[in-house]
Structure 1
Amino acid sequence: MTFDPTKFFATLRIKLGRLSQLQVNGFNAVLKACEGAPLSYAAYMLATAWHETGATMQPVRESPNASEAWRKKNLRYWPHYGRGYVQVTWPKNYAWLDAEAAASGLTQPGDILANLDLAMRPDIAALALRKGMEEGRYDAQGKKMSQRLPAQGAASITQYINARYLVNVQDRAAMVAGYAKIFENALLDGGWK
């Protein structure tokens, strides 16, 4: 059985209510990046994007209500401040994302380094989400997603809580774990394998 996004979104609407077209577009970008990923990985990537974007499912900029002048003055890593579904920060991480996006055929080498705002493009933000979590780039303990979540089947709430280290230590870990269970069920209803 192939994945049926209609069934996935039907389950989500029961759990989350009405979804805007922008939210649906964001979900689709993350789902595309998740293709071939185990169930628990896909569920947790969706939960992370949902939480980190404030449920907009659109890539966000660090300090979203601040001006660029404020960011320049207050963020020591400006202009390499956080952008995306997860906050890609620092020059080394933008260099990594530039290489990953070029290798994936989303950009040409050097494009992201020349225009850091490309990290806000949903397909690139979703790539950063998946690759970064798979490789453990954002994990404070350096662990990869494969060290935090099962490669087959559903994850337990405890596993999802511990997976929060992949992005943000344990900030709101139980909340994000709850989202992961919602997305896990929706993925299963859609036939995710």
Structure 2
Amino acid sequence: MNRTTFFAYVRRAPFGGRLTQLQIDGMNAILDEWDRRGLLDKRWLAYMLATSLHETGSRMQPIKELGGDKYLSKYDTGKLAKALGNTPQADGDGQKFAGRGLVQITGRSNYRKFGIEARPEEALKMPTAVSILFDGMLEGKFTGRRLYDFFNQKTDDPENARRIVNGTDKSKLIAGYHKNFLDALEAATEAVPVPDAKPEDAQPDDVPASQSKSLWTILVTLFPGLGGLAFLQNIDNVFALGAFGLVLLAVSVAAWLVFTGRITINRGKAAT
């Protein structure tokens, strides 16, 4: 796989034009494990990447479930605690076995299932988190459903594949991410490198969006006159100026939505 092409493609979608070093590191860890295991169906890999993106809030790093002791106490007693394998007493195991990982496992039973009941913090370490991601989705350890159930010789069902982890919660959103990652993986395995994937497009830019070269490059490409705003001298009436202001506001809002990750830009293969 040409990882330069892969990162150049995912930079645009689903990451909205910017990549951090931590995001790249997380994806590399997943790609390395994929290669190590010798797996072949790119749809499986794309769905694992899409799931990790959603479960980590785009960080691509193992995370712990947000919330203080009071919030996590919902796992400590009652029916939910019992379902998760926690004790019925208010002894803190709800907090101890809170969600962690690239796919957040929750509850004593799930930590036991992956062999880390005695050391739940291990789920925040990348090698363990990646192993849990693969074993859970390949072997059905999360819900009993596996990648093979939804991606095989007869079936291609990225929406229902969400059942591997969590029912149908956000299934359409994650299916969209799956399409983004699959486009990138297919482009990255082309015999000839695609023409629109440049080495610099695969590099991280760990700076605020306002300082991002990719942001300004896209804006100036779309609206060349923004470079010096010299075109303003040609606007000679208040109505035209008002119309321009509305257009500029719309462009600004659209740029803000893209570069804060609230919307993504789908990207297909370049024409050859």
Residue 102 of structure 1: aligned partner: none
Asked if 1 retains the 8 angstrom alpha-carbon contact of 2:43 and 2:182, the reply is: yes
For the pair 1:47 / 2:55, whether they are aligned, the reply is: no
* Superposition TM-score, scaled by structure 2 size: 0.57
Taking a change above 3 Å as real, the CA distance of residues 148 and 85 of structure 1, as seen in their structure-2 partners, is: same
Task: Give the deviation of 1:72 after TM superposition.
Answer: 5.6
For the pair 1:178 / 2:184, whether they are aligned, the reply is: no
Gaps of 5+ in 2: 77-85, 87-93, 191-272
Residue 125 of structure 1: aligned partner: 129
Deviation readout 1:110-148 (Å, 9 max, x if unpaired): xx3332111011221111111101111222xx2221111
Relative to structure 2, which stretch is displaced further, 30-39 or 46-55?
Answer: 30-39
SS in structure 1 of the partner of residue 127 of structure 2 = helix
Taking a change above 3 Å as real, the CA distance of residues 72 and 47 of structure 1, as seen in their structure-2 partners, is: closer
Asked if 1 retains the 8 angstrom alpha-carbon contact of 2:23 and 2:60, the reply is: yes
Task: Give the deviation of 1:81 after TM superposition.
Answer: 1.9
Taking a change above 3 Å as real, the CA distance of residues 167 and 72 of structure 1, as seen in their structure-2 partners, is: closer
Aligned residue type for 2:120: L
> Which of 91, 95, 99 pairs up with 2:112?
95
SS in structure 1 of the partner of residue 145 of structure 2 = coil
Q: Percent identity?
A: 36
Write the distance in 2 (CA, Å) between the matches of 1:74 and 1:178: 32
SS in structure 1 of the partner of residue 184 of structure 2 = helix
Residue 163 of structure 1: aligned partner: 161
Write the distance in 1 (CA, Å) between the matches of 2:8 and 2:128: 26
Write the distance in 1 (CA, Å) between the matches of 2:108 and 2:73: 17
Residue 258 of structure 2: aligned partner: none
RMSD over aligned Cα, in angstroms? 2.0
Asked if 2 retains the 8 angstrom alpha-carbon contact of 1:40 and 1:151, the reply is: no
Write the distance in 1 (CA, Å) between the matches of 2:188 and 2:4: 7
Taking a change above 3 Å as real, the CA distance of residues 91 and 180 of structure 1, as seen in their structure-2 partners, is: same
Task: Give the deviation of 1:71 after TM superposition.
Answer: 5.4
Asked if 1 retains the 8 angstrom alpha-carbon contact of 2:72 and 2:98, the reply is: no
> Which of 80, 84, 89 pairs up with 2:97?
80
SS in structure 2 of the partner of residue 119 of structure 1 = helix
* Superposition TM-score, scaled by structure 1 size: 0.79
> How many pairs were matched up?
168
Aligned residue type for 1:82: G
What is the 5 A alignment of 1:2-151? 3-15=1-13, 16=15, 17-35=17-35, 36-37=38-39, 38-62=41-65, 64=66, 66-67=67-68, 69-70=69-70, 73-76=73-76, 77=86, 78=94, 79-98=96-115, 112-139=116-143, 142-150=144-152
Asked if 2 retains the 8 angstrom alpha-carbon contact of 1:33 and 1:123, the reply is: no
Deviation readout 1:43-85 (Å, 9 max, x if unpaired): 00000000111111111212x1x23x33563322422221101
Gaps of 5+ in 1: 99-111
Write the distance in 2 (CA, Å) between the matches of 1:51 and 1:34: 19
